[in-house]
Copies of this chain bind each other. A is one copy, B any other.
């Protein structure tokens, strides 16, 4: 028979104390401040603890100590390579400091985010990581009143009264547009994420639009399509753009998932990328480098963001310094989905009103 430590369901610190013939306060010390307990006693206690299969009672612990060594995170969705990696970075970093992570998702709904934040507060998290800036004053007030340190990520807003770790979505998006303008594109399409309640998505479109406007490049409203961040939605949006009488030569996407969907639609329709149409994404998720052709995009160091957020939060838990603002640098990664537009001769042909894009099946 396999030997397993005897675990009785409800061993408390008191039981252990009794078995050791010492007071429960010392057991608590062994658990929380081992350095102040005489080494040999400490060893003996550890042995009994292990033998008895003692598991601390978290609720009792945090009720008494008023700390939980737990952090919370509320992300729009965990089913996203970007957020999954950010959370992973956060998780690892706080883990090294003895903190646990409580994860919740809002599904891009401010109401649900508020509910989750509230739930995390009830559960007593010592700090929390949020994404973006779109939330009600009530939420900020609650956070302030309960004195919960928090950081907003995927955002860089040095004037904000709370810390931010991220970048300027509008400015960065403009860089991508500028790049495509630089290589000669003049007819653009945008496949944006859903902008309602999503400041990052809204900022990105705003950045794309601003860059085009600065160069005097027009953008018919039919060329701007807003879609949830999924592959099939990206495909559908690209299909719609290709159906236009005068399709764009370059498509700016709200993120890499939409860009990937757009690219796949082109493959399905035998529209050559980048010869006939260029596609750019945002985030540089793993797939962007490995699909064929590779997607031109902005690299967001997701893991680093999680780690930096952790640092900021740990700092805030220790002391209450002025809100830190960490600017994360993004890098433009040019891959196979972008190239200069087809020559002007060809452009003239399609300008004749005839679409050169194959019809969707």
Give chain A's interface residues, CB within 8 Å of chain B: 2, 4-5, 7-9, 53, 55-63, 68, 70, 77-79, 81, 84-85, 87-88, 91, 100-105, 118-119, 121-124, 137-138, 141-142, 144-147, 230-232, 235, 260-261, 264, 267-268, 286-287, 289-292
Which residue of the partner chain, among B9, B68, B146, B260, contacts A55 with CB atoms under 8 Å? B146
Closest CB of chain B to A60's CB: distance in Å?
5
**30 A-B contacts (beta carbon < 8 Å):** A2-B137, A4-B141, A7-B141, A8-B145, A9-B146, A53-B142, A55-B142, A56-B122, A57-B122, A59-B59, A78-B78, A78-B88, A78-B103, A79-B84, A79-B85, A79-B88, A84-B84, A88-B105, A100-B123, A101-B103, A102-B102, A102-B103, A103-B103, A260-B287, A264-B290, A264-B291, A264-B292, A267-B292, A287-B287, A291-B291
CA distance A261 to B286 in the complex (A): 11
What residues on B are CB-neighbors of A122 within 8 Å?
55-58
Which residue of the partner chain, among B4, B87, B230, contacts A78 with CB atoms under 8 Å? B87
CA distance A99 to B291 in the complex (A): 39
Find out whether the CB atom of B7 lies under 8 angstroms from the CB atom of A146: yes
What residues on B are CB-neighbors of A63 within 8 Å?
57, 59-60, 63
What would 19 more interface pairs be, CB under 8 Å, given A78-B103, A231-B287?
A: A8-B145, A9-B145, A57-B122, A58-B123, A59-B68, A77-B88, A78-B78, A78-B84, A79-B85, A79-B88, A91-B105, A100-B123, A101-B103, A102-B103, A231-B291, A232-B286, A232-B289, A264-B290, A268-B292
Closest CB of chain B to A305's CB: distance in Å?
14
CA distance A358 to B101 in the complex (A): 47
Closest CB of chain B to A306's CB: distance in Å?
12
CA distance A84 to B104 in the complex (A): 12
What residues on B are CB-neighbors of A70 within 8 Å?
123
Closest CB of chain B to A38's CB: distance in Å?
26
CA distance A174 to B8 in the complex (A): 43
Find out whether the CB atom of A58 lies under 8 angstroms from the CB atom of B59: yes
Q: A88-B78, A292-B268 are in contact. Are A231 and B286 (CB under 8 A)?
A: yes
What residues on B are CB-neighbors of A56 within 8 Å?
122
